[in-house]
Structure 1
């Protein structure tokens, strides 16, 4: 028996549908971050409902919402968005990079942090009955700080207790191999790990080395041309396919700013429809078979997100 844990309850993996693997729909960063960067704030449930409704009209069915408590996660708002739109939302436990999480995790043991993660996964988040379906661990640019290392260990403990998958944040794609080494040394199988933001470091040897470990590969900055062109993303995806890694690739856009959402104002973008209305057609035009694209968006997410009886 296998299931995927969403904010409205567990669903059969076969019913998940087209899934974005790393997004944010609602969060309220604490100070000083809210003042320092007011664009880095998704604080309007109505805008989220509009944006997710457009995603559904484009063919989308599920979203993994990667907001952690240190950035102002709100499980009840996520359930409201899901109930209103009919889109499955998978909530997250764990922590962001040290810039945000250090005050939350300092002086705590991996065991203590794991207890909180397990509670989010099994009982509910923040004294609600909304349960998380994935564990997050994060690293900083070119390093895993001491507090981040504790979170990675805690994430592994929570995985071993529950079977929940682990999805990571890499800063600009760095430290992926180190993340994998840390988690696998703690007993997490590679196929239960998704390494995030790898399309921030589009180097062929690096991506192939990561792929050979057997983890899932997050191409989740799609449409963000300020980091890299989508042409280069497609070239790297084609390289990975040619080397036998199509079953490890998953897609998203990580649109965690108001300026990325059309629902926050006319002329803003790219929005949650961009991948389905624009990027998918480009993949097909570049010669990637529709059945392989289906794997990226449907089959790979369902397999990764599924919990199984322990």
Structure 2
């Protein structure tokens, strides 16, 4: 049976409704060698972020995917603290971001060592939290994959093959996504278990079609960050192109930032329910498609 691994344990589809597949609770975009990197007390993060979670719970959101991976401040203990304080499932990744956000231990690790680390976090748990990673989050340079990023990607493909975990990648250009898919398939894994994060950043819509034709998920994660009419128009174009069954929708918002005084000012995860879904309904999108986009697709992408 497929389950979504969360901070509150594995959950089957019948216990979940709408899922936000790309958000952040805690992020540090400084490089890991900077003083104070990734440092904050769970209590401070709970105080700032719990109200954001309570707001989306009231909207009917039932889970959120944390996209802060290694190198950009992943703190599974903080995600767990926020989750317990709000009784709300959070889905946390293993993996690591791109250069220069790569800590020394990842830079020095062999491909086999990276694979074993990811598999351990997916099957046993992250650090001492007891929380199992649900998925693998990586990235690639905007102009191509560096040798170090390729090593991380190959380790992710092998760990994914061993566990059926989906791999999501912050990749801005779809031609680089195609290179990533080639590597994943060369390692014996499937394009269907890959998410092209930030697909909307690729201006050529035909590349959205091309990535989907390979079997991968595409993700429009700019809800609430770009003009609503532009966001809705892009979603409708994807639906008209017949790629709705591979489309994920989210905001890429939040979050507590330890580089900012008091964690900064969080940006809410509310635009999808508050504005985008009503606009889609007004444009003629039926409830079955709304359910596909907000419930079925995110569960199928991240569950294993």
Deviating more after overlay: 295-304 vs 202-211: 202-211
Q: Which residue of 1 aligns with 2:298?
A: 301
**Does the aligned pair in 2 maintain the 1:219–1:251 contact within 8 Å?**
yes
Confirm or deny that 1:170 pairs with 2:171.
Answer: yes
Pairing 1:51-66 to 2, within 5 Å after superposition: 51-66=52-67
Q: Distance in 2 between matches of 1:37 and 1:111?
A: 27
**Does the aligned pair in 1 maintain the 2:28–2:37 contact within 8 Å?**
no
**TM-superposed deviation, 1:104:** 4.1
Tell me the alpha carbon deviations over residues 149-200 of structure 1, each in whole angstroms, 9 at most, x when there is no partner.
1111010111111111111111366622222222122222222111100111
**TM-superposed deviation, 1:254:** 1.0
Q: Which residue of 2 aligns with 1:206?
A: 207
Q: Which residue of 2 aligns with 1:14?
A: 14
**TM-superposed deviation, 1:233:** 3.0
Q: Which residue of 2 aligns with 1:26?
A: 26
Q: Which residue of 1 aligns with 2:288?
A: 291
**Does the aligned pair in 1 maintain the 2:31–2:100 contact within 8 Å?**
no
**TM-superposed deviation, 1:239:** 2.3
Q: Distance in 1 between matches of 2:52 and 2:34?
A: 22
Q: Which residue of 2 aligns with 1:273?
A: 270
Confirm or deny that 1:107 pairs with 2:104.
Answer: no
Q: Distance in 1 between matches of 2:90 and 2:242?
A: 30
**Does the aligned pair in 2 maintain the 1:159–1:188 contact within 8 Å?**
yes
Change (3 A) 1:36 1:157: same
Q: Distance in 2 between matches of 1:115 and 1:191?
A: 22
Q: Distance in 2 between matches of 1:114 and 1:276?
A: 38
Q: Distance in 2 between matches of 1:217 and 1:32?
A: 29
Q: Which residue of 2 aligns with 1:182?
A: 183
In structure 1, stretches of 5+ residues that fail to align are none
Tell me the alpha carbon deviations over residues 129-157 of structure 1, each in whole angstroms, 9 at most, x when there is no partner.
11111111211112111111111101011
Partner SS for 1:142: coil
Which of residues 234, 245, 249 in structure 2 aligns to 1:247? 245
**Does the aligned pair in 2 maintain the 1:67–1:92 contact within 8 Å?**
yes
TM-score by length of 1: 0.86
Q: Which residue of 1 aligns with 2:88?
A: 87
Partner SS for 1:217: strand
**TM-superposed deviation, 1:298:** 0.1
TM-score by length of 2: 0.88
Q: Distance in 1 between matches of 2:34 and 2:272?
A: 28
In structure 2, stretches of 5+ residues that fail to align are none
Partner SS for 2:92: strand
Q: Which residue of 2 aligns with 1:97?
A: 98
Q: Distance in 2 between matches of 1:125 and 1:55?
A: 26
Change (3 A) 1:212 1:31: closer
Partner SS for 2:135: strand
Q: Distance in 2 between matches of 1:241 and 1:180?
A: 23
Partner SS for 1:168: strand
Confirm or deny that 1:193 pairs with 2:191.
Answer: no
Question: Deviation above 3 Å: which 4+ runs of structure 1?
Answer: 27-38, 171-174, 256-259
**Does the aligned pair in 1 maintain the 2:56–2:270 contact within 8 Å?**
yes
**Does the aligned pair in 2 maintain the 1:26–1:45 contact within 8 Å?**
no
Partner SS for 2:136: strand
